[in-house]
Structure 1
Amino acid sequence: MASRVRGCSCLVTLVLFLVSSMASLQEAVAAGECGKTPISTAAASLSPCLSAAGNAKAKVPPACCTKVGALITTAPKCLCAVLLSPLAKQAGINLGIAITIPKRCNIKKRPVGKKCGRYTLP
C-alpha cells in the first residue's frame, strides 16, 4: 500500500513539474516577440483594454489606445503574442474583437493586413 502511495505521489510531482515547465517554456517563447519584456508584463500593460477587447461596441479608453500605440511602435509582433497568449484566453479576451482595437483607436501606423492567428489586422 505504501509503495502505491509513493508511486502516485511521484506521478503527481512529475505531472506538476511538466505543467510548470510547459508554462515557463511558453512564457519564454512568447517573450521573444516582446523583446526583453515578459509576455505577462506586456499583457498587464494592456489591462485598460479589457472592456474594449470583449465588446466591439465599447468605447476604447484613451489609456488603452496609448498603450496599444506604444506597443505597436516598439514591438509590433508583441500585440499579437499577447492576444494569442494563454493569459488573454484566461482573461476572456475575444481575439476577433481585440484585434480591432488599433483601428478603433485610429492608430495610423498599425500593421494593417498582418495575420494574428486566424485573424487579420484591419
Structure 2
Amino acid sequence: MAAALKFVCLLGLIVLVSIVGLERVDAAGECGKSSPDNEAIKLAPCAEAAQDQNAAVSASCCDQVRKIGRSPSCLCAVMLSNTAKASGIKPEIAITIPKRCNIANRPVGYKCGPYTLP
C-alpha cells in the first residue's frame, strides 16, 4: 500500500512539473526563454562597474553586455531586474556600461525605464 501511494505521489509530481514546464516554453519575454533575473546573474563580472562609474569595466563584463545587449529590451530588463537591485546595482550607472565598453552598435538613446542609454 505504501509503495502504491509513493508511486501516485511521484506520478503527480511529474505531471505537475510537466505542466509548469509547458507553460514556460510558451512564455517568451524580453530575454527569450530566460528571465531577466537569470540573465542578471551572467553580469556578475559587471558588479563593481555597475556601482561605481569610475570603476574599470572588465573584458568579461563587456563580453556579457555585448551578448545580452543584442536585445536592448533584454539588457534594459536585466538592469532593472530584482536580482540587479538586490545585488546593489545602480541602474543610472549600469546604463553607462555599454558606452564604457566602447560597444559601437549600442542602442544610443534607447529608453530604459526612466533612464536613456548614452
Answering whether residue 90 of structure 2 is matched by residue 80 of structure 1, we say no
Alignment of 1:22-101 (within 5 A): 32-73=29-70, 75-101=71-97
Q: TM-score normalized by structure 1?
A: 0.71
Looking at CA atoms only, which structure, 1 or 2, has the larger radius of gyration?
Answer: 2
What is the Cα-based RMSD across aligned positions, in Å? 1.3
Tell me how far apart the structure 1 counterparts of residues 82 and 34 of structure 2 sit (CA, whole Å): 16
Q: Which has the higher helix share?
A: 1
Q: TM-score normalized by structure 2?
A: 0.74
Tell me how far apart the structure 1 counterparts of residues 68 and 90 of structure 2 sit (CA, whole Å): 19
Q: When the two structures are aligned, how many residues end up with a matched partner?
A: 92
Q: Which amino acid aligns with 1:102?
A: P
Shift of 1:40: 2.4
Q: Deviations over 1:55-104 (max 9, x none)?
A: 0000000000000011112x221110011111111111111100000000
Tell me how far apart the structure 2 counterparts of residues 71 and 96 of structure 1 sit (CA, whole Å): 18
Unaligned runs of 5+ in 2: 1-23
Identity %: 55
- SS of the residue corresponding to residue 53 of structure 1 reads coil
- SS of the residue corresponding to residue 55 of structure 1 reads coil
